[in-house]
A and B are shown apart, each in its own frame.
Chain A
Amino acid sequence: MVLVYIDHQDNQIKKSTLEAISYGAAVAAQLGTEVHGLLLGTVTEDISTLGQYNLKNIYQISDASLSNFDAQVFVKTIAAAATKVGATTLVFSHNQTGKALSAGVSALLKAGLVTGAIALPNTSAGFVVKKSVFSGKAFANVSITTAVKIIAISPNSYKVVGGAATTATTTPLEITVTPGQVKITALNKTSGEISLTEADIVVSGGRGLKGPENWGILLDLAKELGAATACSRPVGDAHWRPHHEHVGQTGVQVAPNLYIAIGISGAIQHLAGVNRSKTIVVINKDPEAPFFKAADYGIVGDAFEVVPKLTEAIKKMKASA
C-alpha cells in the first residue's frame, strides 16, 4: 500500500499535499496497489473530498498531543502508523513539513529515502527515483534498496490530478503517542504573501534595482500576476528584502512555471536555485548579462522603464481576456 502524509496548516490542506496525493495515486497505480492518506491531528475541512485525487481512504490519528507540531513526536507516530497499516511506499511533499519528517521516518523504519524527487519511480528493474542534485544543475537516479520505500516529492514537480468522482473514507487509527519536549511559543505568519516554494509565478529582483525603496515596481508586477517575490543573495544580505526571499544555491530553490528575473546578473549560484523553472524571463540593461543564456525570453532594457510598462500590458491583456 502507498501511504501519503497529509500535511495541513490552519485547517487547510496545501497545494503541495495535493501534489503528493496525486503522485502517490500514480505510484500506487504503477505498483498495482491502493493509495491511502495519513492525517495527524484534525482539520475542519471536509477531507472526504480528497477522494477526487484518487485517494481511497484516510487514516486519522486525532490524539490531543498532535495539535502542536513536534517533529520527534510526529516521526514516531508516522513510523508506527506506517507499520500498523502495512505501508510499503510512503510519500511526503518535500516542503518545510516534509523536510522535518521524512528523514526521521526513514531512519526509524530503515526505509530508503529519496528527497527532492521530481518524477515517478522507475520500477522496471528495482525502484529508482529521479531527484534534483547540485541545486538543480543535474539529476541523480537513486535506487532504493530496502523493502519499504519513502519518496519526498519536490513542490511544483508533479501536477495535481483531480476530478475523480469518488470520496475518501476516514478510518480512525489508534497509535500511542508519546508527548514531546518542544513548546511552541509564537507563530509569525508572513500573512498575505504567497509561499515562494509553492508559487506558480515568481518575480525576483537583484542589485540592479539599486535599493529597497525601488521595490514598488516589482511588487506591483507580482501583485498583478499573483506571484510570489524573491531576490538574489546580495539583496537579502543587504536587508533590502527579508532573507527568506533569497533564492539560489545557498537560498531557497524554486521551480515555478514562470520566473521573472529583474536586474539580476545570473551568477551560477543564483541560476542553481532557479533553473528548474519552466519559463524564465530576464530583464536586464546589460545585453551581456549571463542570465540571458539561461532564459527563454528576455528584454534588454532599464528595469525602471520596462517593469511598469510590463505591469500595464498585463493589466490590459487581462482586461481584454
Chain B
Amino acid sequence: MKILVCISKTPDTTAKIAFTDGAKKFDEAGVQWIINPYDEWYALVRAIELKEKDPSVIIHLLTVGLADAEPIIRKALALGGDEAIRVNADSSDSYYVAAQIAAVANTEKYDLIFTGKETIDYNGASVGGMLAAILDTPYLSLVTSYSIEGNTSTITREIEGGEEVLTVNSTVVVSCQKGVAEQRIPNMRGIMAARTKPLKVLEPSTADTLTSIESFELPAPKAGVKLVSADNVEELVKLLHEEAKAI
C-alpha cells in the first residue's frame, strides 16, 4: 500500500499575528514555523502506525511550498515516512494547491491520501475536498478514526450531532482530526535517518488560481473585563440579562 500524507507549514500556535505591507501580508518577522498540527499529530502519525503494522507500506510526504517549506518537510520526515516531495510553488490559493497535489497523485497512484482537517492559519478546510473532486475519489471529511483490513477501509467521521461509521474499498482522501492518532515526539534516530531520506523537488504544473487575499484585519480590542464579586453572582446574572442580553 502506498500512502500520501499532505503536509503544510503554519506559524507556531503562539506566534504573534501581525500584518505588513498595508495589511496585505502576514508579518513573518520572528515567527517560528511548524508542521500544521492536524497534518503532524493525526495524518502523519496514523500513516506511520499503518507502516509499523505492515512494513510493506510506503509513505510519501508532500508539501506545496517555496524553499522556506523545506525545514518543515524535513521535520515531518524525522517523524517517519519514506520520501518527501516538495512542489516548488506558492501555496496561497487552495485550488492551485489541490491541483498540484492531484498532478503528483496521478503519476504516483496512491492507495490512500491523508490531509489534515484544516490549516490553522488560513482555516480553509478545502484542499482535501478539492483534491478528491479532481481525482474523482471518495472524500471523507473530519475523520476521527481510520483502519484498513485487506482492501476495506473503515472510517469514523464527524457529522452534525454525532458520528458516522462507514466502509469503502477504493482509494480515498481522508481529512484527519483529533482521534485518528496521538501526537508523537520525534526521536534522535528518526532525525538522523531523515537526513538520508530522499526529498524530491518538482516544478509546478499549470493550474488556475480562483481566489486572492486582498487584505487582513485584526479584531477590535475588548473594552476590558467587568469584574463581579464572587459573593454577588446575582449581579453577573443581571448584567448578562440586561446589559449583554446574552441570557
A contacts, CB < 8 Å to B: 9, 14, 16, 69-72, 75, 94-97, 99-108, 110-116, 128, 130-146, 180-191, 193, 195, 197-198, 201, 225, 236, 243-244, 246, 249-251, 253, 257-258, 268-269, 272, 275-276, 278-279, 281-282, 292-302, 305-306, 309-310, 313-314, 316-317
Contact = CB atoms under 8 A, between A and B. Distances in A.
A99 B125 contact: yes
A313 B227 CA distance: 17
Interface string B231-247: 00110111111001011
A103 B119 CA distance: 14
B56 interface: no
Contacts, number: 286
6 contacts: A103-B128, A107-B131, A141-B216, A181-B168, A249-B120, A250-B38
B179 interface: yes
Contacts of B196: none
Contacts of B240: 258, 279, 281, 297
A213 B183 CA distance: 26
Contact of A146 (B154, B164, B166, B210): B210
A107 B130 contact: yes
A132 to B, nearest CB: 7
Pairs A-B, 7 closest by C-beta atoms: A103-B129, A301-B230, A112-B210, A104-B133, A103-B126, A258-B246, A107-B130
B236 A281 contact: yes
**Which applies to chain B's interface (DSSP): helix, strand, loop or mixed?**
mixed
A310 B126 contact: no
B215 interface: yes
B136 interface: yes
Interface in B193-222: 208-219, 222
Given A103-B133, A187-B162, A189-B162, A75 B139 contact: yes
Contacts of B136: 72
B246 A99 contact: no
A293 B141 contact: no
B131 to A, nearest CB: 8
B38 A96 contact: no
B190 interface: no
B146 interface: no
Contact of B230 (A191, A197, A249, A300): A300
A83 to B, nearest CB: 14
B129 A100 contact: yes
Given A145-B210, A258-B240, A134 B121 contact: yes
B222 A294 contact: yes
Nearest to B162: A189
Contact of B13 (A185, A249, A276, A316): A249
B161 A113 contact: no
B230 A305 contact: yes
B66 to A, nearest CB: 20
Which of A140, A146, A316 is packed against the most chain B CB atoms within 10 Å? A140
B230 A71 contact: no
Given A72-B132, A138-B219, A140-B122, A182 B166 contact: yes
Given A105-B133, A107-B95, 18 more contacts: A96-B159, A97-B159, A103-B127, A104-B129, A112-B95, A143-B211, A246-B178, A250-B38, A250-B178, A257-B246, A293-B225, A297-B225, A298-B228, A299-B236, A300-B227, A300-B230, A310-B237, A317-B238
